[in-house]
Amino acid sequence: MKARFISLSLISVAPAHLRGGLTSLYQFNITLGILVAAAVDVPLVKRGGGWRIAIILQSFPALCLLIGMIFLPRSPRWLVQKGRINEAYDVLLKLREERDAQQELKDILQSWQDSGEDEVSWRELARGRTKQLLMVGIALQMLQQLTGMNALMYFGPRIFRSLSLEENTFQAVNNAVNCLSTLPALYLADRCGRRGLLIWGTTGMICACCVIATVGSFASHEAAAAGPTSMAAYVTVSMVFTFVINFAYGWGPMVWVYCAEMFPLRSRSRCVGVTTMSSWIVEIQHEDRLKSRLRAEDCDSEVFSTASPDTSVESLTTALEEDYKVKKVLGQGKFGLVQEVVRKGTKQSFAVKVVSSNKQSEDEIQLMASLRHENIVCLHDSLEHDEMLYIIMELCSGGTLRSWIEDRYNEHLNMQVYTAPPKRVLANCIWQILDALKYLHGRGFVHRDIKLENLLLLNAGKCPQLKLADFGMATEFQKGELMTQRCGSPGYMAPEVVRGGYTELCDLWSVGIVFYQLATGKRLWPLTPTHEQHYDQVLAETPLTLKSDAYWNRLGPGALEMAQDLLSLECSRPTAACTIENDWLRKHVLGGDDGWGRFSIVSAMSWAHVFSAEETRGNYLIAQLSPVLLEGLGLASFFVFAGFSAAALGLACWLPETRGVALEDIERLFDERFGAARTVSSKAKAQILGLPQPAEEVSVLVGKAPCGTEEQGESDAMAAELGRPGKGREVQKQGSSDFDSVVK
């Protein structure tokens, strides 16, 4: 409602020569609000209960808007529609000079009579010229979303993360660029024209999208080797901001200007409402998929906004039992107990890890609080009670990856036979683990305890979405420095961890072990408890040989080589960022070798949409292609955005220029575009071309001035055309007491 009524109000009261800039002010204030809100959120995110303060703060602008609406004058066109011409003239006198107010009122009355005095019905919107204009407005609003700006705002941090850049930097810089780049539209909309800004902006967006999709591939591939200083990464980042700049002065504000001024008076309100609704339909699809994939943002179900959850490490005054009800025990390990609990107020389920309160546990909470990734368990809250620490996390109800593997064993001829998962399912599992590690290592942390038990399934199924858990052994590392502390689980520890002196690549060894177990259903070394105590001897005495057999042949060429690279006894194994680019992995992640899988965020997909019910027979259907591309926002998806931008460019070239044209004449401009017989008035053409008004129209406007002044003559001409004797300046002196009756 706000988006609809604010644009209508601005259009109604703005003079023709300022209408574009004033309406663009609506979009500028939106971007300014986003920038201010993001700046305010920075300290609130780190504060306990900060989301409550955010909710309170955002009520103040709404209160100011409510108070301001009380003093906002009614739309003169709406008053004319309701027959309240006297009030319409009073409003125009407050906003215009007398001569301009009279001329505008005459134009409004003429437009009202030409289009019909009754308000258009909903059925009439689907017929005739109104239907054609409505389709143009809907196309403008939908293309504004489909060109990729909102998807970029949502998933831009992931692009930065894939380039080994600080993702929080993107939010700060991007919000500032978006706000400042909207300012030129306020000045240029009524000088260079709306159509020109749309064409220039769309051209820049197309170029930026194509460069991001091509150069970004090299940036993503070189990020691990060349680091964030890669030239390709810098080019990609600059093109991202180029896209934002061109959208901010073009399609951001100009769409609202066109949609508010292109419709006839009697149907304008409803048509603007329909076009605004079409914009929000696409916007809601983005937001809905964002919330379903970025589960870290909806951990606190007490509010339905995007306020950040309370992840601070602080001692709460209430005990666990006061807010949560224990449902069952999920598991127990050497360091603590894991239970499933239900929050009493919201009935939302969580997993609670109960451990002794010590520095290691507090460090684990601090680390989890800083992580936001779709394949890492989300921390909801933490509280301390009786020297015990309760770590409240996202519940993964599908069990562990070990239990999922065990469920794939079936009895056959009195033997337990392992049914390996399909190639694409296996590849997606490994891809998710690598994506989580790429994010973790990029932030300067190493896990050091990757194993089947610490890989949780969000939901049970044949195509699991994995979550990396248990950061009790995780620590921060410095690039190039060796760690010496021996930690991890026997059977998963890398040889260099046993020897002492290792880097973050020890996690990749563990991924290789998991890969082997997923492919074969068995451990690389079937360790007994005695062997686990002497794991270093097992590594030294047992040769590591991976041979091509039925298991690896089934996976196709490249799978065995990838496992051998991960399980290299030397410390030269590839990084997570490089391994995720492996040809075999890329080929099977999206089921194609056309390069699309290489740059797509596969773990951001909804698995139920990606795989059909016949997945066990190897028949995979990728459904909802466009939402998946927008949702995953792979770099190659920018080719899709470039395609939508090309369609937007075609529409922008077709649109007529409305700069400086009275609202009542804009309909005639669109009639010309549609090939109607109605022609644009000579006055409208003169305004478009910036020429002097035709003499005959000037004489009609000015009329005779019996009192000797041009201004008085205009008043008399206005009164004469409306059937009233000329009284010169008496119109303004007497106000509008008898103006309504004269018009009637």
The C-alpha R_g of the chain, in whole angstroms, comes to 33
Look at the pTM and tell me if it is higher than 0.95: no
Token digits of residue 15: 């003079």
Highest averaged pLDDT of the listed ranges 235-239, 303-307, 626-630: 235-239
d(CA 365, CA 367): 5
Q: What is the pLDDT of residue 627?
A: 33
Give 629's pLDDT tier (boundaries 50, 70, 90).
very low
Q: Which band of pLDDT confidence, cut at 50, 70 and 90, is reported for residue 338?
A: confident
Is 311's pLDDT higher than 70?
A: no
Lowest average pLDDT, out of 165-169, 272-276, 456-460, 538-542, goes to 538-542
Q: What is the pLDDT of residue 229?
A: 46
Amino acid at 532: E
Higher per-residue confidence, 533 vs 79: 79
What's residue 433's pLDDT?
Answer: 93
Distance (Å, whole) CA 29 – CA 5: 15
The pLDDT-based confidence of 528 (bands split at 50, 70, 90) is low
Local structure of residue 350 (DSSP, 8 states): E
Q: How far is C-alpha 538 from the chain's CA centre?
A: 50
Residue 260 has pLDDT above 70, yes or no: yes
- Separation between Cα atoms, residue 35 and residue 153, nearest integer Å: 12
Number of residues in the chain? 744
Burial class (CB in 10 A: 0-12, 13-18, 19+), 618: exposed
The average pLDDT across 574-595 equals 75
Highest mean pLDDT among 34-48, 160-174, 315-329, 708-722: 34-48
pLDDT over 90 at 232, yes or no: no
Exposed, middle or buried by CB within 10 Å (0-12, 13-18, 19+), for 650? exposed
Residue 522 annotated in ligand binding: no
Mean pLDDT of 131-154: 85
pLDDT recorded at residue 447 = 94
Asked whether the beta carbons of 106 and 722 are under 8 A apart, the reply is yes
CB–CB of 85/234 below 8 Å?
Answer: no
How much is the average pLDDT of 431-452? 92
Q: Lowest-pLDDT range, 41-55, 84-98, 470-484, 648-662?
A: 41-55
Q: pLDDT tens-digit profile of 277-294? A: 888 887 776 565 555 444
pLDDT at 730 over 70: no
pLDDT at 490: 81
CB burial readout 464-478, b (16+ within 10 A) else e: bbbbbbbbbbbbebe
Q: Is the pLDDT of residue 507 over 90?
A: yes
* Least confident window among 91-95, 104-108, 143-147, 231-235: 231-235
Closest C-alpha to 147, from 246, 277, 24, 275: 246
pLDDT at 315: 33
Q: Is 413 helix (H, G, I), strand (E, B) or coil?
A: coil
pLDDT for res 244 = 92
Residue 529 vs residue 483, higher pLDDT: 483
Mean pLDDT over each residue of the chain, to the nearest integer: 73
Read off the pLDDT of residues 563-580 as tens digits, 9 standing for 90 and up: 888 888 777 789 998 999
pLDDT of residue 619: 30
More confidently predicted of 397 and 223: 397
For residue range 53-106, what is the model confidence (pLDDT) as tens digits?
888 888 888 888 888 888 877 878 778 877 788 888 888 887 777 777 787 788
Most confident region among 414-423, 505-514, 637-646 by mean pLDDT: 505-514
pLDDT at 388: 81
The amino acid that residue 358 corresponds to is N
**Which residue segments constitute the domains of the chain, with CATH numbers given?**
2-72+119-293+639-654 (1.20.1250.20), 320-394 (3.30.200.20), 401-623 (1.10.510.10)
Distances (CA, A) of 31 to 83, 244, 420, 484, 610: 38, 12, 51, 49, 35
pLDDT at 204: 93
Average pLDDT for residues 173-181, to the nearest whole number? 90
Quick one: what percent of the chain has pLDDT higher than 70? 67
List pLDDT tens digits, range 235-248: 878 888 899 999 99
**Maximum average pLDDT range among 399-403, 521-525, 625-629, 700-704:** 399-403
- Residues 173 and 170: their CA atoms lie apart, in Å, by 5
